Amino acid sequence: MSKIKNYKEILKNGFTKLCTAKAMTEVFEANFKVVSKYVHATSRGHEAIQIALGMQLLPQDYVFPYYRDDAMLLAMGMTPYDLMLQVLAKKEDPFSGGRTYYSHPSLKDDDKPKIPHQSSATGMQTIPATGLAMGMQYKELVDSKSNSNTFNASDEPRPITVCSLGDASVTEGEIAEAFQMAGLKQLPILYLVQDNEWDISATAQETRAQNAYEYAKGFKGLEAISIDGTNFEESYETLQKVIHTIRTERRPILVHAKVPLLNHHTSGVRMEWYRDDLEQSRLRDPYPKMKQLLLENDFSANEIKIIEKTTLSSVQQDLIKAQNAKDPDPKDLFTHDFAPTPITEEKGERTP
């Protein structure tokens, strides 16, 4: 039995989120013609580490997810219906009203971590995430008397920045720039690298000389930790310590989580086209591991079955609801608050 406070409650919540994320993958596959009109990816195989992180973040934190982080978003408080509205580009999509690329959210809900808008280019979130962590540091060290409500220095616990990455993106140059500055300035940022040993259709052996954990050790001032990202208990406990360290000591840490990729790279790059390691990868599935963890902590087989059945039914109903949701009206582009106000010809000034 873990020493984590409220451990059974955390296990139940975590397993429910895992079942929900897994059900989303299955429902998307079963309804491929419906959802494949827009490219999408899912967290299948990555769920345990993502959920372990999302459950521990606070509303004052800032998060830069990557395109496979749907389980993390669920753990942060989003619903399958919310995520489906973006996948189907619907008018009520909470991130952008159906205007942004799949699984690239932006969010400013009061009760959830904040997600700034970011590029859809892989790895491009790393520099703005690191810059935001520098902004947090500035507010605390230089501008702590400001009245700004953005990552206020008086927040307790103190906010952190989270930057989530796929392992292949760590070979990109901008990641090195971010790591250099985080280590140099000692910024309050967590880099989560989810290593499934695949690029878009190439193996790790074909694309890199070392993994992210080994690479990060070359950056002075950046602590690196490597864990089994399919083990929920190890992931939760490690991240709990890491997050506490960043909140209190205000320094960067990279967590390298080893996970399998158990679904397509995206709906347009399907695993059966190029993968020859699927059977081996399925042996590392976090789902049966977490079921066993629940059984070892006094959950009955019937309780587990109820969670599985309930989440699948809920996800199926959410897809039907999302399909029937309204599409965006192109005319709305010119009626939202973000539309620019006209400029008067006489003075060159914007009219109120």
Residues in the chain: 352
For the chain, the 3-state helix, strand and coil shares in percent, each to the nearest 5, are: 45, 10, 45
Q: What is the DSSP letter of 269?
A: B
* pLDDT on residue 123: 81
- Rounded CA-CA distance 209/207 in Å is 7
Number of Cβ atoms within 10 Å of the Cβ of 268: 11
User: Is the model's pLDDT at 350 over the cut of 70?
Assistant: no
- Rounded CA-CA distance 83/9 in Å is 25
Percent of the chain with pLDDT over 90: 60
Q: Residue 339 falls within a domain, yes or no?
A: no
* 223 neighbors 196 (Cβ within 8 angstroms): no
* Amino acid present at 135: G
- 14-23, 135-144, 318-327: segment of lowest average pLDDT: 135-144
- Rounded CA-CA distance 182/129 in Å is 10
pLDDT tens, 281-310? 789 999 999 999 999 999 999 999 999 999
Q: Is 350 helix (H, G, I), strand (E, B) or coil?
A: strand
For the chain, the domain total comes to 1
* pLDDT on residue 176: 96
Q: Residue 309 falls within a domain, yes or no?
A: yes
The CATH code of the domain that includes 264 is 3.40.50.970
Integer CA distances (angstroms), 183 to 133, 166, 190, in order: 12, 20, 12
Q: What is the 3-state secondary structure (H, E, C) of 103-125?
A: CCCCECCCCCCEECCCCCCCCCC
pLDDT tier for residue 71 given thresholds of 50, 70 and 90: very high
CA 60, 87, 45, 310: dihedral to nearest 10 degrees?
90
- Rounded CA-CA distance 193/89 in Å is 28
Between 276 and 305, name the one with better pLDDT.
Answer: 305
- Rounded CA-CA distance 322/81 in Å is 6
pLDDT tens, 175-205? 999 999 999 999 999 999 999 887 777 778 7
- Rounded CA-CA distance 66/68 in Å is 6
pTM of this structure: 0.89
In the structure encoding, which two tokens stand for residue 191, read together? 């880099």
* pLDDT on residue 142: 83
Contacts of 349 (CB under 8 A, 6+ apart): 343
pLDDT tier for residue 144 given thresholds of 50, 70 and 90: low
User: Is the model's pLDDT at 348 over the cut of 60?
Assistant: no
Q: Residue 76 falls within a domain, yes or no?
A: yes
Q: Residue 342 falls within a domain, yes or no?
A: no
- Rounded CA-CA distance 92/39 in Å is 19
- Matching residue, tokens 């950056």: 219
CA atoms within 13 A on the CB side of 193: 26
Q: Residue 204 falls within a domain, yes or no?
A: yes
* pLDDT on residue 153: 57
Q: Residue 343 falls within a domain, yes or no?
A: no
User: Is the model's pLDDT at 15 over the cut of 80?
Assistant: yes
Q: What is the DSSP letter of 340?
A: P
In the structure encoding, which two tokens stand for residue 45, read together? 């195989």
Q: Residue 44 falls within a domain, yes or no?
A: yes
pLDDT tens, 200-213? 777 787 888 999 99
Domain assignment of residue 97, given as a range? 7-334
Q: Residue 347 falls within a domain, yes or no?
A: no
Q: Is 57 helix (H, G, I), strand (E, B) or coil?
A: coil
pLDDT tens, 211-268? 999 999 999 999 999 999 999 999 999 999 999 999 999 999 999 999 998 887 777 6
- Rounded CA-CA distance 273/1 in Å is 42
